[in-house]
Amino acid sequence: MLTLLPIGGLLLLTMESCAPYNSGLKNGATSSPDARILSSGRTVTVRPTEIDDILYNPGMGFADFHFEIGVPLSSSQHPRSTVAYIRWSWAALEPVEGQYDFGRVDSVIEQAKAIGERLAFRIMTEPKMPQWLLDKGVASVKVSGGTFPDYNNPIFLDYHERLIRAFGERYAGSADIDHVDIGSVGCWGEWNTACCQSAVKELCKRYYPTEANQIAITDSYFKYFPKTPLVMLVGGQLKYAVSRGAGWRGDCFGDYGMFGPSWNHMEHVYEPAAQDPVIGNAWKAGPIQFEVCGVMQDWYDKGFDIDLILRKGLEWHISVLNAGYAPVPAAWRPRVDEFLKKLGYRIVLREMTHPAEARPGETLLLRSRWQNVGVAPFYHPWPLAYRLRSSSDRWWPSG
């Protein structure tokens, strides 16, 4: 229900209750008929025409890669992004004990907003740990490209919680943050020891957090980002995280043989995860995000089945896909565009009924029927709002 209030020569439209929408997720929904306007004399019912455009709405579609904001490719080469996905090392975010570089994050938020994107980020404890923390007695080992800390050290755990608390206090619940990636552990924050050379592999395993400490680190994100969508990478405490409301992500989407013919991520990692009754339903509460394995041109060159890959993405209810800074193969662009019309949410107004007349100061009751024809809901509490305009496209005058 909406109330019209005269404010300084204009009518302010305030929402008293939101219209519901149908979150049933059916692929292949047909378009509504041409817009029709039915009038009973006292009410008007409008049934709009459903468009077939790609929608660049918050939290759905392609994401920037984590090195810079804005895809440095033309729109004919690469779809526009809606999410700026950035990874920062702990050393960059807290170069001095207790001094957090919020300005670094705020700057990226403003850059992203300027081009219609929202920020998603991961905090990494590898490759670069703060030297001041290591100097406090946190053991570490040199690995390929960085430093692997002792995740079981109480000093590490204490200061890590302080870090997540500080960033949660500043950014939790912000509409500028699309989601937060539960990182912090392992090589590149990916919950693995892949950067550990064979000579230090055993030491990395010893420094890797125990199950109890993995859960404690995961819990810190839920505690300090209570109103922000979270995602957990496959390899972490995935089932635990999604049972608490997180979504999930994988960093090698599209792999049907990138590393050899006998094993791949799609069939041997992601499909079993998606078939798990807990993980498979995670999309209902938290976003599903993937990062491509290689780039799409690699898939094309290797003869991968693009239709199968994109179909799996929709089956797994993807909202965000990081496709890297590389052109989409021209022959595949039409299929990628069709994929973009289905991933994430797509809220269609099916019908709106309103009084034929209304006067300033009266209550205007709007009845509407909506349908989500995408493969996922939206994960932020975006409000439903209406604006009244005159036939000349001006604000409705008050008198």
**Is 143 within the bounds of a domain?**
yes
Do 321 and 194 belong to one domain?
yes
Residue 268 and residue 363 share a domain = no
Q: Is the pLDDT of residue 6 over 80?
A: no
Does the residue 209 lie in any domain? yes
Angle between helix 154-171 and 102-114 (nearest 10): 40
User: pLDDT tens, 266-324?
Assistant: 999 999 999 999 999 999 999 999 999 999 999 999 999 999 999 999 999 999 999 98
Place of tokens 């994430």: 344
- Chain centre to alpha carbon of residue 30: 27
Does the pLDDT at position 363 exceed 90? Answer: no
Gap between the Cα atoms of 90 and 134, Å rounded? 12
Answer yes or no: do 34 and 75 share one domain. Answer: no
Is residue 394 one of the residues assigned to a domain? Answer: no
Q: pLDDT confidence of 175, banded at 50, 70, 90?
A: very high
Q: Is the pLDDT of residue 399 over 80?
A: no
Query: Could you report the per-residue pLDDT of 177-190, keeping only the tens digit for each?
Result: 999 999 999 999 99
Is the same domain home to 73 and 10?
Answer: no
Predicted pLDDT of residue 66: 66
For residues 228 and 1, give the distance between their C-alpha atoms in angstroms, rounded to a whole number.
28
pLDDT value, residue 11: 30
Predicted pLDDT of residue 172? 97
Q: What pLDDT is recorded for position 329? A: 97
Question: In b/e form, how buried is each residue of 176-190, taking b as 16+ CB within 10 angstroms?
Answer: bbbbbbbbbbbbbbb
- Statement to judge: residues 33 and 159 lie in one domain: no
State the pLDDT at residue 73: 82
Q: Note whether 291 and 249 are within 8 A (CB).
A: yes
Domain extent for 223: 61-340
d(CA 172, CA 220): 12
What pLDDT shows up at residue 142?
96
- 136 and 283 housed in the same domain: yes
Q: With 60 as the cut, is the pLDDT of residue 30 above it?
A: no
Residue 213 pLDDT > 90? yes
What pLDDT is recorded for position 39?
65
**Which DSSP category does 204 fall into?**
H
Q: Same domain for 181 and 235?
A: yes
**396 inside domain:** no
Q: Is residue 83 part of a domain?
A: yes
The CATH number linked to 298 is 3.20.20.80
Average pLDDT in the chain: 88
Residues 44, 165, single domain; the answer is: no
User: Domain tally for the chain?
Assistant: 2
Is 136 within the bounds of a domain?
yes
Q: What is the mean pLDDT of residues 14-28?
A: 33
Q: Are residues 264 and 353 in the same domain?
A: no
Q: Is residue 133 part of a domain?
A: yes
pLDDT value of position 343: 95
More confident: 279 or 388: 279
Task: Summarize the confidence of residues 369-386 as an average pLDDT.
Answer: 92
How far apart are the C-alpha atoms of 15 and 31, rounded to whole Å? 29
In a domain, 56, yes or no: no
Say whether both 144 and 159 belong to one domain: yes
Q: Is residue 129 located within the same domain as residue 168?
A: yes
Angle at CA of residue 23, ends 19 and 29, nearest 5°: 110
- Domain boundary (299, 320, 340) is at 340
* Same domain? 171 vs 288: yes
pTM of the entire predicted model: 0.86
